[in-house]
Amino acid sequence: MKPIDYSVYLVTDDSYLSMDGFYQVVELALQNGVSLLQYRAKERSGREMLREAKLLRELTRKHDAPFIINDRLDIALAVDADGLHLGQEDLPLEVARKHLGKKIIGVSATCYEEARKAVLQGADYVGVGPVFPTLTKKDAKPPCGLTELQRLKAEFPAMPWVAIGGIDLNNVHEVIRAGADGAAIISAILGSDDPCGAVRRFAQQFAEKKGMETAR
């Protein structure tokens, strides 16, 4: 597999999975710069998840983008996903690693201690947040802001850090400035009147960051 680009990290959500043209929107997003797709569905049955994950797996293979499943190891194995994303209440990382081997395993962290633990246990990337208020996660904790992200990036510069929660085109520059290697995005792409344009603008901002880092 090619090196993982976490920059424009699109995440699905139950509120968008049933919208008209959902799969067409996802495909256009992949064509226009989404670098990684996570299937996240908290209110679907196992059968529904398997069906939807299979369709998204086909799209990600078609456009050569990594495909991550949120929470459900069984679904990840069933569709041969590229990895799994775990929350603090999900399977322990070491258990998932036994089944997934060298595939990608990401972990969500809401504070410094959780994030540091994920790094030391061998996570491939860590999602930190919510960095801003978000409406797409019903049980989201109060925003941790960007200070935790800055601290973690300074301490573990080689670890890919993905900012989570409330990120849009008006604040993504703050996330990038804080050191994020990527942004997990839902509504700012799937709920946009111009999803393709939104993806291109997110991708451009991260590309500019990489260009500045290369020029140093």
Which tens digits make up the pLDDT trace of 135-180? Answer: 666 666 667 879 999 999 999 999 999 999 999 999 999 999 999 9
Mean pLDDT of the chain: 94
> Which residues have C-beta within 8 Å of that of residue 201, sequence separation ≥ 6?
169
Domain extent, residue 47, equals 8-215
* Integer CA distances (angstroms), 186 to 26, 40, 178, in order: 11, 10, 20
189-195 contacts: CB < 8 A, separation 24 or more?
A: 189/10, 189/29, 189/34, 190/10, 190/12, 190/13, 190/16, 190/19, 190/22, 190/25, 190/29, 191/16, 195/25, 195/28, 195/29, 195/32
Can you list the alpha helix ranges (DSSP code H) found in the chain? 14-17, 22-31, 46-62, 73-78, 93-100, 112-121, 147-155, 172-177, 187-190, 195-215
Confidence of residue 197 (pLDDT cuts 50, 70, 90): very high
Exactly one of 35, 137, 153, 192 is catalytic; which is it?
137
Active-site hit among 35, 57, 97, 108: 108
User: For the chain, how many structural domains are there in total?
Assistant: 1
Q: Which residue has the tokens 């020029």?
A: 215
Q: Which of 40, 44, 57, 103 is catalytic?
A: 40
Residue 108 annotated to the active site: yes
Q: Over 60: is that where the pLDDT of 214 sits?
A: no
| Residue 15 resides in a domain | yes
Q: Does residue 105 belong to any structural domain of this protein?
A: yes
Helix (H, G, I), strand (E, B) or coil at 86: strand
In a domain, 172, yes or no: yes
- 18-22, 174-178, 212-216, range with the lowest pLDDT: 212-216
**CA distance linking residue 112 with residue 152, whole number of Å:** 7
User: Considering the domain boundaries, does residue 24 fall inside one?
Assistant: yes
Query: Dihedrals φ, ψ of 125, to 5°?
Result: -155, 165
Is 177 a known active-site residue? no
Specify if 2 maps to a domain: no
CATH label of the domain that carries residue 198: 3.20.20.70
Residue 98 bears catalytic tag: no
Residue 177, token pair as written in the block: 């400035």
